[in-house]
Amino acid sequence: MTVITCETLPQLFEHVAALFAEKKDELCEMDANMGDGDLGLTMSKGYGALPQLIRDNTEAGDVGKTLMKAGMKMASVVPSTMGTLMSSGIMAGGKALKGCSSIDGAALSRYLTAFADGIANRGKCRRGNRTILDAVGAAADRAAALIAADPAATLQAVMQAAVEGAVEGVEATKSMTPVFGKAAVFAAKAIGIADQGAVAGLIMLQGMQNAIQAE
């Protein structure tokens, strides 16, 4: 892909859904140690539904509005904590792209920054709390830094920078103490283990990268 349009947007998330389906059991196992054990199911169900939600709610020529509407619908498909956070991120990312007919490298960077901000605002969390934000926030930072250095950076380059940032973000969670949910109860067990939410954020970005590289 050189750009993402309303027509190709479902394909982007089909690759995300495929990777979550592949990683579903792995995520559930990680989550069982520190949470409810359903993270893989939530991510697979939510992103599995998203491509069709995009098709059903396409605003012709406006990828931002399309993402906003599909994200809102996704929230009702997976009404869990993580489902709500991911849906909020998609809606915030869509709002940042409202009026755009396509997504290039610079627009992707804006989407990722808004996605991270949407999660932070909805979840009332910040960097260092050992959450998905530590991965997607780091991804957004790396993408933004690349665009600042090269405003014409390609989708592929921006996505690669984002994934690299997320990998670093996931690694950083290994030394963080959880402060939210059931994970906080098992805080002592968390040291040395990556946060499962951050891993889910990385998988999402890797799925997007798979789609962008496939074209």
The CATH number of the domain holding residue 204 is 1.25.40.340
H or E element in which residue 1 lies:
none
Closest to 43 in 3D by CA, of 157, 206, 165, 187: 206
The tens digit of pLDDT for each residue in 107-141 reads 999 999 999 999 999 999 999 999 999 999 999 99
Specify the pLDDT at position 1.
82
Q: Which domain holds residue 43?
A: 4-214
The tens digit of pLDDT for each residue in 180-212 reads 665 555 656 667 889 999 999 999 999 999 999
How many domains is the chain built from? 1
Instruction: Assess whether pLDDT exceeds 80 at residue 42.
Output: yes
Do residues 97 and 64 make contact, with C-beta atoms less than 8 angstroms apart?
yes
Specify the pLDDT at position 24.
95
Per-residue pLDDT band at 37 (split at 50, 70, 90): confident
Closest to 86 in 3D by CA, of 141, 51, 123: 123
- Which amino acid appears at position 123 of this protein? G
Q: Which one-letter DSSP state was computed for residue 195?
A: -
Specify the pLDDT at position 183.
56
The tens digit of pLDDT for each residue in 158-185 reads 999 999 999 999 999 998 887 766 555 5
Average pLDDT value for residue range 37-66? 95
Specify the pLDDT at position 181.
62
Specify the pLDDT at position 185.
57
Specify the pLDDT at position 164.
98
Specify the pLDDT at position 120.
96
In total, the chain counts a number of residues equal to 215
Closest to 134 in 3D by CA, of 188, 190, 70, 182: 190
Instruction: Assess whether pLDDT exceeds 80 at residue 20.
Output: yes
